[in-house]
Chains A and B, each alone.
Chain A
Amino acid sequence: EPEVTQTPSHQVTQMGQEVILRCVPISNHLYFYWYRQILGQKVEFLVSFYNNEISEKSEIFDDQFSVERPDGSNFTLKIRSTKLEDSAMYFCASSPEDGYGYTFGSGTRLTVV
């Protein structure tokens, strides 16, 4: 069964450093998403991406965040200057068409120290 692949599974970074979280969505999917989940809290929407542009973003997704689909297969989330409160599980997801259920990756646990 096709999977969404995320790397790394766990990343530790110092406050103020830049991090790039990587995702390989399912190959024929058209819609891509990033969500995050702070430990013990709800899953939160960050951004959706379609046709090589952001289609929607949340208040969390401020100027410190950016997404890119650099080569037609990878989908990355960059945090320019990490803060302690960015520590969370970050989930990438994709879907083939609008309205279909997403397939989520297994997540990247980001720890900012």
Chain B
Amino acid sequence: DAKTTQPPSMDCAEGRAANLPCNHSTISGNEYVYWYRQIHSQGPQYIIHGLKNNETNEMASLIITEDRKSSTLILPHATLRDTAVYYCIVRPSSAGNNRKLIWGLGTSLAVNP
């Protein structure tokens, strides 16, 4: 089973920031937090990942709490094309024989005009 908990759905107004929360209270010290999204049955798209420091790239920012038990993905200026299911996944950094991603149901984000 997935080690993360996410709200099933969220709404956001176009142009506003979308803040997607994720709880991962049982995360281990060597596990990263990954975020992917899936737009209407297309292939999942990698967004960002982090260990304990906050991370930012051209798509999003990832804020990880100090205790690492939760994180927030921030889309700073959501557009209609950001409407998708967003998945938060924890996975060891050096996976050895444990390279798989275990997917939950994610958060269905609807960006409204």
Contact = CB atoms under 8 A, between A and B. Distances in A.
Interface of B is mostly: loop
B44 A42 contact: no
B46 A101 contact: yes
Interface of A is mostly: strand
A42 to B, nearest CB: 5
A98 interface: yes
A84 interface: no
How many interface residues does chain A have, given as a range?
20 to 34
B46 A56 contact: no
Nearest to A58: B100
Contact of B99 (A37, A43, A98, A104): A98
B98 to A, nearest CB: 7
Nearest to A45: B100
Interface string B91-103: 1111101111111
Interface string A33-49: 10101000011110010
Given A42-B105, A43-B103, A58-B100, A104 B43 contact: yes
Given A42-B104, A98-B95, A99-B93, 8 more contacts: A43-B44, A56-B98, A91-B44, A99-B92, A103-B46, A104-B43, A104-B46, A107-B41
29 contacts: A4-B43, A33-B99, A33-B100, A35-B101, A42-B104, A43-B38, A45-B100, A45-B101, A48-B99, A48-B100, A56-B97, A56-B98, A89-B41, A91-B43, A91-B44, A98-B94, A98-B99, A99-B93, A99-B94, A99-B95, A101-B47, A101-B49, A102-B46, A103-B46, A104-B46, A105-B43, A106-B42, A106-B43, A107-B43
Interface of B: 32, 34, 36, 38, 41-49, 87, 91-95, 97-105
